[in-house]
Amino acid sequence: MGIGAHLARYAADQGWSVAISARSEDTLKEMADQSNGRMHAYPLDVLDLEATKTVVDAIERDLGPITIAVLNAGTHADMPASAFDATEVAKIYALNMTGMANGLDPLLKKFLPRGAGQIALTASVAGFRGLPRAGAYCASKAGTIAMAESLECEIGPKGVKIQVICPGFVRTPLTDKNDFPMPYLMEPEDAAKRIWNGLMSDRFEISFPRRFVWQLKFLQLLPARWYFALIRKATGQ
């Protein structure tokens, strides 16, 4: 089970009414059935813009105005330069960026006229700088961070709160496929709690674990030559 599912359960445990969306209708139904009426299933493929608009309308019709929206759909594929695949890059961009934009479209159209609402975009610490074998993933997450920053410049003063979530390595079915060491690997329950606390705060960036984040932010400050030398040594490139 991924971060989104754990976050939905945590929010429901806090007493919130939670609308959950994913492509797997059976999984959504199972989660909703186990939530004592706190979670409500809305099957959705976020690559379908019109379907996304329809689901946002349905949620507000059934449950009332959306207070917090977490746009969390994403994927990753190991892609060394020797196996660079433009088709695979397009798939990663489609889900990680276009899927997010498809959610932003109807949400902003509802939130901005109200002057209220909160949107969190899930990026990653991998968006801080480029990492080996993850060019498409890092680019998509850097793009997500830039999107959130760009929107905040405009919509923050208009009463709509936007945040960006940048987790480190979290144990999920996606990271279970990784064949390399994952420093500071966290359990998804802990990640969900940290995200929730961040959503309840005034922070723009919800990033963790703190030690890993600060190490990567330090790398952002290094000249390119130093950064490449360190990363090559650390990853055996």
CB 162 within 8 A of CB 156: yes
| Token pair 């989660």 in the structure block, residue | 31
* Residue 205 φ then ψ, to 5°: -105, 125
Distance CA 142, CA 220 (A): 12
* Residue 57 φ then ψ, to 5°: -60, -40
Q: In terms of DSSP bridges, do strands 161-167 and 205-208 run parallel, antiparallel, or are they unpaired? A: parallel
| Token pair 């480190």 in the structure block, residue | 168
Distance CA 60, CA 107 (A): 11
DSSP 8-state class, residue 202: S
C-alpha angle 41-47-51 in degrees, rounded to nearest 5: 55
CB 40 within 8 A of CB 63: yes
Which residues are known catalytic residues? Answer: 137
* Residue 55 φ then ψ, to 5°: -70, -40
Distance CA 167, CA 176 (A): 16
